[in-house]
Chains A and B, each alone.
Chain A
Amino acid sequence: MFLDKIAKKLLKAGLFDIEVGFENGSVVLRGELDSWEDIVNAGRLAVDTKNSRGVINDIKLKGFEEPPMKMPLLNDDKYEGKKVDVLVIGGGIVGCSILRELSKWNLTSLLVDKEYDVAVNQSSRNDGEIHPGIDLSPDCIKVKYNCRGNRMYPKLSEELGFTLKRTGQYVLYTKPIGSLVWPIIKARAKKNEIAIENVSQKELKKRQPNVSDEIHGATYYPNVYVVSPYEVTIAFAENAVTNGAEIALSTAVIGMEHKDGKIYSVKTNRGTIYPEVVVNAAGVYSDRIAEMAGDRFFTIHPRKGEEMILDKKASALMDTVMGRFDISSSASHTKGGGILITADNNLLLGPNAVETPLREDLSTTPEGIDMVIKKQQTLMPRISKGSIITYFAGVRASTYEEQFVIERSKKVDNFVQAAGIQSPGITAAPAIAEDITKYCIEAIGKNISKNEKFNPIRKPIPKVRELSTEERDKLIKENPDYGVIICRCEEISKGEIIDALNSPLKVPTIDGIKRRVRAGMGRCQGGFCSPQIVKIIADHEGISIDQVAKKQQGSEILVAKNKGE
């Protein structure tokens, strides 16, 4: 019955020759269409959360062959035959926070990720806002994890030593609708205990003088924080490793073997692993992993977002998070971007939202950047394109239901999913990790005791630029390398770089260092410091300078000796 309704909806939308079926409790769409937009639209129209678990959208795009997953160059047998209690697939913030949560228990756990570092994709390509949870439907699963996660962050920041800035957030009214929407917001906020404040135009101008005169006021959410999402992910990963968990980078899952309705083994480019339980935290590839595991009931339709970073000088304009109130861009998709002061004190603009069939397309476009800047200029006219120092793109792992998939598989006994995680994934991750860990322990099916030796504290790498003169002097007296500045724009010392090379999850590449200590993230974008960092890495690792890479294997900086050498 409901399938007929979906079929009718598709026809009404002009989407012909689509076969509507029902498999594994989900709506299945098959056929071929000319445009990606139509395919995404079909997927959306097929959503019926009452009658199905999800949408499997297998409609093909005419003339398009999805490129194969980008694989690491590495091939060895380091993990051949390895037995673990829990195998986590995916080293984003979700996977890494799960790994840390698992390390609180007496079990063996291994996280695999195909990239050269953790937090390479979605988890480093977002604004790092710890959301209040207001712009979501008040009963959905996303809001539950959002509100729980938000409350966990202050303690996590203390334990793991990452920067957490309580910036608050202003949702700005571009039309005089403040008095109209206030009662609705108030009711929503009450339901999930979200602190709010109604801010008049006059008061807003007083607090944030650079906001456009066209703005009619705002709702203010005091419990909004900003973090560096990759700093947090690395912190989770390092603390997990310190507590006995293992991380295998450049390790891609390429297949699974089943026995007795369970996953028996997981094949990677570095050998076959034999886990008791498998966790799917694979981001944009999470539906593929679900398929391998034998319980696919949702589809990831990748949604790209472009963001840009402004020179620190522009941070004089504001010190908070701002977005526009927009009924049309309803919560389920994206807020459409805003302006945010990052944990490292740069202004960040964006992101936009573009549906794409390419899961790993991290390219930026002039149109995207121009669109974002124009949009944000309507909130803050003094923002200028000239102060952009860099920009980047990320791909969100959105499902057609626009909801998180967090469950122990009803079909495959030893499979647990944390899939389809997009915004507010950073906020939600620690809460998701608690539940996933519970499911893992249930799935193992025997008594697992608490890890009494678990140490929640991670000692971060000092940020010399943020210390007082006295503290900084003391630190340099203990280790003179903290006084040698290598990255002049961000004021990063040699000591910090060496600390990163000695950290529990070291990634001895230019970008590995950059993501840990910020060397090369300033206005010169590594022009002055990258040659020096190449030398520091080579010296510390005992390799020659032409073996030092920017990112993964195959991205070595220096390609040949000079002819004259």
Chain B
Amino acid sequence: MYDVVVIGGGPSGLAAAVEAKKEGASVLIIEREAMLGGILKQCIHDGFGLIRFGKKLSGPEYAELYIKEVKDLEIETRLQTFVTSIKKSQEGFEIIVTSSKGMSTIVAKTIILSTGCRERTARQVFIHGTRPVGVYTAGTAQNFVNHMGYLPVKKCVILGSGDIGLIMARRLTLEGAKVLGVYEIKCTPSGLTRNIHQCLKDFDIPLYLSYTVTRVFGEPRLTGIEVAEVDQFMRVKPGTEKYIECDGLILSVGLIPENELAETIGVKIDPKTKGPEVNEKMMTSVEGVFSCGNALHVHDLVDYVSEGSATAGKNAAKYVGTKENEANVSSEGMLSLVPQRITEGEHEIIFYFRTLCDRKKATLTITVNGNEENKIVKKYTNLLPPEMERVKLKLNVKGGDKVHFKLEGE
């Protein structure tokens, strides 16, 4: 029996495990792949760790710092081990796993779900036409290029300006493929501003806003795509369709937190983040189950993944099973806000949010039970939906209180 079992050995799980161990808990990391590090293993570009370590690291370097700590702290790991189900039990939880050694049951007092996210696929953005080879999500293309050393496309179009799409535009160009352009359905880019500059502008790759891919052609290999302009409601403007000859279509159209396991044990999911609802300890609606990293909500920077996950690890280790009263957190003007609940008492809490739309100047007002007198006001400039904001607040709440975050400004 372990105090804390961490499911998922990517950046989030590693940070959570390290922190839990430092708190004195017995910890096990379960990882389905053969190596720790998660998706960072294939992110060979730099820019990781600026906030947390004050230096530019590559993905594998960033992961290695944590993997070393896991080793130094002698945290147990089970690699190439896959969780097939979780059951609640008297001691806490029974986790059934499969591996090349057979089936086994692991008993845990608490669970940390750091299962990451997956990419939205071509079908989920309703790309129609033939079914050729040559259509990949950016992460899959990244795996082919960075892990296997081969290009899956020679001349391609990228749909969606999410960060992985931008990174892959540069990467494919560097490895000898021609990237004809990045097409984004929204009127603003989806990725970080720094990536627009470093990955597109520096390589003369055009970015087309308010465009989408309507159809693909070719069988068995992609021979071309049709792009079209969209209006403000993202509907195709008839007559704007244009054919582009290419052998590849790379998609960077969003990430979806993976919570299929969480849902089987009844964890409540926030429709905005698509991840579990948590309190400031990162505990989900199910007692003893914690969530962090991209499974909780999709992050833009791994540094914040590590920070939030450490909070989850620390609190899982400290968990004693006493049910606490909680205040509810609601928001307006935001795409998402985490945590969604706060336990009773006075704490310093880090909130992560994304603005609903671009705002040059913005005001964030936080009230408890609609009490305007004690409201907290924060000022922001240049808020963009792709960039997650972090705010540390001191709050004193009682169970049943209603905490409201209001973000406004043009």
Contact = CB atoms under 8 A, between A and B. Distances in A.
A524 B144 contact: no
Contacts of B362: none
Interface string B152-175: 111000000000000000000011
A414 interface: no
B102 A563 contact: no
Interface in B242-280: 247, 260, 263
Interface in A357-385: 362-366, 369
A412 interface: no
Contact of B129 (A363, A528, A554, A562): A363
A485 interface: yes
A133 to B, nearest CB: 32
A523 B152 CA distance: 22
A527 B140 contact: yes
B124 A558 contact: no
Interface in A528-565: 528, 530-531, 534-535, 545-546, 549-552, 554-565
A527 B153 contact: no
Contacts of B139: 527
Contact of A564 (B98, B152, B175, B219): B175
Nearest to A488: B32
B131 to A, nearest CB: 7
A469 B94 CA distance: 13
Interface residues of A, number: 57
Interface string B209-248: 0000000000111000000000000000000000000010
A388 B120 CA distance: 12
B128 A364 contact: yes
Nearest to B131: A362
A491 B99 CA distance: 12
B345 interface: no
B320 interface: no
B215 to A, nearest CB: 8
Interface in A103-142: none
Nearest to A483: B100
A366 B149 contact: no
Interface stretch (A5-13, A329-337, A389-397): A389-397
Given A523-B118, A524-B119, A364 B32 contact: no
B40 to A, nearest CB: 15
Interface in A496-526: 523-526
Given A528-B118, A552-B220, A557-B133, A485 B32 contact: yes
A472 B133 contact: no
Contact of A369 (B80, B126, B147): B126
B123 A561 contact: no
A81 B99 CA distance: 50
A473 interface: yes
B133 A550 contact: yes
A484 interface: yes
B358 to A, nearest CB: 26
A469 B151 contact: no
Contact of A472 (B98, B130, B136, B143): B98
A476 B103 contact: yes
A363 B226 CA distance: 14
Nearest to B84: A491
A531 B144 contact: yes
A364 B123 CA distance: 11
B350 interface: no
A290 to B, nearest CB: 26
Contacts of B150: 545-546, 558-562, 565
Contact of B220 (A473, A554, A559): A554
Interface string A201-225: 0000000000000000000000000
B391 interface: no
B176 A560 contact: yes
B129 A364 contact: yes
A551 B132 CA distance: 9
Contacts of B136: 527
Contacts of B118: 523-524, 527-528
Nearest to A360: B219
B145 interface: yes
Most buried by B among A388, A554, A562: A562
B405 interface: no
Interface residues of B, number: 49
A549 B247 CA distance: 15
A391 B132 CA distance: 14
B128 A363 contact: yes
Contact of A491 (B82, B119, B126, B174): B82
A261 interface: no
Contacts of A313: 260, 263
Given A491-B82, A524-B119, A525-B123, A556 B133 contact: yes
Given A524-B119, A562-B145, A551 B152 contact: no
B103 A362 contact: no
A545 B152 CA distance: 11
A212 to B, nearest CB: 24
A70 interface: yes
Nearest to A494: B100
B363 interface: no
Interface in A318-333: none
Contacts of A483: 98-103
Contacts of A21: none
Contacts of B129: 363-364
B220 A366 contact: no
B148 interface: yes
A366 B133 contact: no
A545 B148 contact: yes
A473 B103 contact: yes
Given A364-B129, A546-B150, A562 B101 contact: no
A391 B175 contact: no
B190 interface: no
Contact of A485 (B98, B140, B152, B174): B98
Nearest to B248: A559
Contact of B152 (A365, A488, A557): A557
Contacts of B128: 363-366, 369
B211 to A, nearest CB: 17
A52 B143 CA distance: 61
A121 to B, nearest CB: 12
B57 interface: no
B309 interface: no
A371 B84 CA distance: 37
A407 interface: no
Given A562-B150, A563-B176, A391 B140 contact: no
B101 A565 contact: no
A560 B122 CA distance: 23
A526 B143 CA distance: 12
Contact of B100 (A484, A524, A565): A484
B133 A555 contact: yes
Contacts of B153: 559
B96 interface: yes
Contacts of B152: 557-559
A362 B143 CA distance: 29
19 contacts: A70-B219, A363-B129, A389-B124, A469-B96, A484-B99, A485-B32, A525-B121, A525-B123, A527-B119, A531-B148, A534-B148, A545-B148, A551-B133, A557-B152, A559-B247, A560-B177, A561-B151, A562-B150, A562-B175
The 5 closest A-B pairs by CB, nearest first: A563-B176, A480-B100, A555-B220, A558-B150, A485-B82
Given A483-B101, A527-B118, 18 more contacts: A313-B260, A366-B128, A369-B126, A476-B103, A483-B103, A526-B140, A550-B220, A551-B133, A554-B220, A555-B220, A557-B133, A557-B152, A558-B150, A559-B247, A560-B177, A561-B150, A562-B151, A563-B176
